[in-house]
Structures are given as structure tokens and as C-alpha cells.
Amino acid sequence: MSHPGEPAAVTFRALGTVVSVLVTEPRARDAAGAILGAELDAVDAACSRFRADSELSRLNRAGGREITISRRLADALAAALAAARATDGDVDPTCGRALIGIGYDRDFAEVRRDSESGLLTGRPGFTGTSGLTGTSAGGWRAVELDLPRCTARLPAGVLLDLGATAKALAADRAAVHIAAEVGCGVLVNLGGDIRVAGRAPDGGWRVGIVDDLGPGEAPEAAAPAQTIAITDGGLATSSTKVRAWRRGGNTVHHIVVPATGRPAQTCWQTVSVAAASCVDANAASTAAIIRGERAPGWLSMLRLPARLVRDDGTVQTVGAWPAAGGGPAAGLRTGLPA
């Protein structure tokens, strides 16, 4: 139950994670929850790699043929390709085979339960005609999308995975839709992919940043290492710790380097980024994990506020992100160039 002046919340599970929507007007709570639930059901049906009946699975099975897809999947694929361009291929949607090779071949809860079976066979998601692989061949560049016609074609053998962007896009779309429908401030949180829209509460939306979650642990159950405030845009945290499991005697995680198909060997355990949208923030935080020591300079060049945490717990901040104990960070908004 919410108290007067406090945002009202709806929380449930979807897309394999805990999701929530907060609204500044308690009267809008139920409508907001219904809109979010419908949005996430539609995203799952269009973009899930784990559902045989999803549109994405149908596209992955098309064997190199051009097929007609829905506007929802077309928009999600367009967002994924834009993220690949913006990150120079570090966030590449053609890594589906690589993820399967390291054991991420079903819903994450099932992967963790079967964590000791199989061998680690990570490999690049795409091999070009030149014999070069992964980013050097630009796997994402071989994806053909006609957005006006809503058609797409993948090279035979390529498997798309939209996990790095589809959930973030759903947060963006849901927050904007809910704010327009119910006429108040909204925060949508999809397992750490956050987007706010409408008029924020006085002082901004307060968001806890959690550093040390283990596999399968719920962020809402952990004490935040820092609390910030945002008034617009999106916020995302990428981590090598939360979606991690054992495979063939190795500990692996879901952030893979497209050129190798293997989990990134990185100096960062978590990276949080604020941007104009959740898609931008998610792409930047994921690429920062992969870029390692080069990440702070890259994020600074893009003027993206960020918080990067090393494996030893050392924290480095970039841009307008506040130092610990320095008070809330309000109005963190800047865009990732496409």
C-alpha cells in the first residue's frame, strides 16, 4: 500500500526477471500495470529466443529467406542494429550461436539448474566469406532489414539474439505509453533496465545501484551501494555476476565478445550508464564491459554519465555521475550517437 505523496507500484515476473512500474498517481496504478503486462507479453511473443513459436525463432529458422515480420520485431531489430553501429559491433545481435555454445540455450533459470553439464564451445556468431569472424567481419552488417516493408533476411546459419536491446526497448516503449495514457510520472524497471517518462516526483526518481549481486539474486533484496535520482531518460546496469553459471568446469557469463564467441574477460564486474533512453544506456553499459580499460574514455567522449566497478570493488565514475556520498544525480540525460 502506498502512502500519500509516494509513488504507487506494481511488481510481477516477466521476461525471466522481476519487473515493476511506479506511477506518481496511485489512481493510475492498475492501468499502468495492465499496460506494462500487455507490452511484455507482446515483446516475448515477438523477440524471445527461447520460444519456438516466437517471431524471432521463425526468422532464425528461415534459412536465408526474406520473410515478413511484425512492426514490433522490425523495431526491435532496428534498435539492435543501431546499437551495433553505435558500439562498433561490440553489441552484436548475431551472437545467438555463441550464446548457445556457452550454454545459454534456454531460460536462465534452467541454465543455472543444469550448470555442470556440457562443454564450453563458444564461437563467433558469424563467419563472413573472407574467413574473418565476428566483429571483424561485421556479423550484424549481414542482416537485411527493410523497416518500411517490415521484412528481414538473415544469412543462412546466423541466429539472432536480441537480449541486449529488446528488453531495454520494451522499457522505453512501456514508460512512454503509460505516461501518455495515464497522464502522470512513470518509472518502468525491467530487471535493472529503467526508463522514466512524464513528470518525475519532486527530487527525481530515486534508484538504488547494486554492485555485488550473485547469480539469480534479486536486486530488490540487496542493499544498494549508491542511490541516485533521475528525472528523465534511461538507466541500465550490465553485470558479469548476475547471469553467470558453470559450464564444463568454467564460470561463464552472458556478455560475449562477438569476435571470439567467448564471455568477455574484463576488469569490470558492473557498469551503470545513464542516457537519453534505456536502449542507449543498455548498449553503452554492455559495450563498456567488453571494452574493459578503454571504457571510461569512450563513455567520457560520448558524455554519458557512468559508474564502473572493478572486480576488487573499486569504483570509477564518468561525467556527471555523482561520487558516492555526493548526493543524488538529477537529470542525467545525454544520447548515444547512432
Read off the pLDDT of residues 28-53 as tens digits, 9 standing for 90 and up: 999 999 999 999 999 999 999 989 99
- pLDDT tops 80 at residue 328: no
165 vs 262: which has the higher pLDDT:
165
| CA-based R_g, the chain, Å | 19
Work out the percent of the chain whose per-residue pLDDT is above 90.
Answer: 64
Whether residue 91 has pLDDT greater than 60:
yes
- Lowest mean pLDDT: which of 4-18, 109-123, 135-149, 218-232? 109-123
Contact yes or no for 103/263 (Cβ under 8 A): no
Give the bridge partners for 235, in sequence order: 194, 274
- All three cell numbers of 290, joined, read 567488453
Q: What is the pLDDT of residues 154-180, one digit of tens each?
A: 999 899 999 879 999 999 999 999 999
Mean pLDDT over residues 15-24, rounded?
93
Q: Per-residue confidence at 133, pLDDT binned at 50, 70, 90?
A: very low
Residue 145's nearest CA partner among 56, 21, 229, 232 is 56
**Res 337 pLDDT > 60:** no
CATH of 8-41+165-318, one of 3.30.450.20, 3.30.720.210, 3.40.50.970, 3.10.520.10: 3.10.520.10
329 — pLDDT class (breaks 50, 70, 90):
very low
**pTM for the model:** 0.85
Give the residue with greater pLDDT, 11 vs 261: 11
Q: Where are the domains of the chain?
A: 8-41+165-318, 55-153
Low-confidence winner among 58-62, 92-96, 151-155, 327-331 (lowest mean pLDDT):
327-331
CA dist 315 → 73, 167, 208, 323 (Å): 37, 27, 15, 9
For residue 210, is pLDDT > 90? Answer: no
Mean pLDDT value across the chain = 84
Q: Could you tell me if 228 and 328 are in contact, meaning their C-beta atoms sit under 8 angstroms apart? A: yes
- Phi/psi at 8 (5° precision): -100, 145
